[in-house]
Amino acid sequence: MTLPTESIGSIPRPPALLEGIEQFRLGKLSQAKLDALYEDALKDTIARLEATGSPVISDGEQTKSSFATYPLLNLTNIAADGVTIPFEDGHTRQLPKLTAGPFKYGIHAGAYVKAAKRYAHKPIKEAVISASALSLLYPAEGVPGYSREAFITDLIQETVADIRGCFEAGAYHVQIDFTEGRLSVKLDPSKKLLQDFIDLNNRVLSHFTIEERKRIGVHTCPGGDHDSTHSADVDYADLIPDLFKLDATNFYMQLASEKNPEQVLGIIKNHLKPGQRIYVGVIDVINPDVEEPEQVRDRILQAADYIPVAQLGTTDDCGFSPFEDDTSTGRDTAFAKIKSRIIGTELASKILNC
C-alpha cells in the first residue's frame, strides 16, 4: 500500500488536436474529423497516465473547453462579456454571462467518465466545476424574467446532477474545482464573498450522503494559466480555516509552489478536522523543471510532520492545462512530472510504513 495519490485533472492537449480545434472553428474541418481527434487524444492520454503507474487516472480533460466552462457547451443563452479574471502576468480570462433563464448545463461531467471508461483499466477521478464559480455567470444587472434566486436554485440542481452523474457513470472520486475560493479573498478582503461561496457549495454537498461525501473532494489553488496565477499573493491563512468548513472529505491543495510550505502546513494542522484527507501538492505545475522523485519524497515527509499519515495523500499543485489552448507546459513534461509524483509517493510511503 502507498499513500493515496491523484492528479488534479487537465493534461495538455496534443498539438494535432489543438490544430484540429482551430481548423474546425474556421470551418475547415468536419465535426466527424474533430471527434476522431478528440478520441485519439482521450485514448492516448489514458494510456500514458496508466503508464506512469498512477493508481487513479482521469480523462485529462481532453474534450473539455476548460475546467470551468464545459457545462456551457452549445448553450445559446450566454454572451461573451462576463466577469474578467486578471492574472499576475497581465493576461486575463473572461467568463461568459447569462442572458436568459433557465440555466441548464449543455453537458454533464458523467459523459466524460463514460467516455474514459471505454479505455481505462484503473479507477477514474473526474473534476467538476463548483457552483460558486458558475454563480459568477449571473450578471450584476440581472436577467429579465429570471431572478438570481431562481438561477441559484437551478444552479444547485445542475451541480448536484453533475456530481451524481459522475458516480452513476462509475467515477471513483469526484473533485470540485474551487480555484475562485482563494481569488475571492482578493476580490473581497472582508471574506463575505468567500463565505457566500462556501455556503453555496455546502448547499450542493448537502444533497449527498456521508458515504458519498467520502468520495467527494475540493481543489484549491491560486489559478494556473499560461504559467501564471491569479491569487498567489492571498495568504493561505485567510483561506484555510473557511475552506475546511466545506462538507467534503478530500482536499487537493496546491503547496509545492508556495513560498513557505511549512507555514502553510502549520495552518493546515491547526484547522484540519477528523476524517478529512489532505492531498498535498508535491508537483509545481508552473515550474517547467521535472521534480526528482527524491524531492517529491522529501516534500511528503515534510507534510507528514504536520498531517497524520492516515489523513495524507499527494497530488499536483493544479491541472497542467486548465484551458484547452494553454500550451505553456508540454505533454511529455506533464507525464514526466506525474511519474515523479508516483515514484516519490512510493518512496515516502515506504519510510512512513503505509
CB 212 within 8 A of CB 167: yes
> Binding-site residue total for Zn ion (CB under 5 A)?
3
Least CB distance to Zn ion at residue 95 (A): 16
Closer by beta carbon to Zn ion, 179 or else 184: 179
**Closest CB to Zn ion among residues 20, 60:** 60
* 268 binding Zn ion? (CB under 5 A): no
Nearer CB in complex with Zn ion: 221/283: 221
Cell of 48: 500514458
**Residue 221 in the binding site for Zn ion (CB under 5 A):** yes
Q: Nearer to Zn ion by C-beta: 127 or 312?
A: 127
Cell 434566486, residue located: 149
Q: Which is nearer to Zn ion, 109 or 221 (CB)?
A: 221
- Smallest distance from the beta carbon of 151 to Zn ion, in angstroms? 25
Q: Tell me if 328 sits within 8 A of 18, measured CB to CB.
A: no
Report, in Å, the least distance between residue 220 CB and Zn ion.
Answer: 7
Residue 67 vs 103, nearer CB to Zn ion? 67
Question: How near is the Cβ of 237 to Zn ion at its closest, in Å?
Answer: 19
Q: Which is nearer to Zn ion, 248 or 304 (CB)?
A: 248
Q: How far is the CB of 11 from Zn ion (least distance, A)?
A: 13
Rounded distance between C-alpha atoms, residue 285 and residue 142, angstroms: 37
Q: How far is the CB of 256 from Zn ion (least distance, A)?
A: 12
239 sits near Zn ion (criterion: CB under 5 A): no
Query: Scanning residues 299 to 328, which ones bind Zn ion (CB under 5 A)?
Result: 318
Please state the closest distance from residue 57 (CB atom) to Zn ion, in A: 18
* Subset of residues 130 to 189 that bind Zn ion, contact rule: CB under 5 A: 179
Going by C-alpha positions, the residue among 319, 342, 327 that lies closest to residue 58 is 319
Residues 94-123: b if buried by 16+ CB within 10 A, e if exposed: ebbbbeebebebebbbbebbbbbeebbeee
> CA distances (Å), 248 to each of 140, 164, 214, 215, 333, in order?
29, 14, 7, 8, 31
**Residues in contact with Zn ion by the rule CB under 5 A:** 179, 221, 318
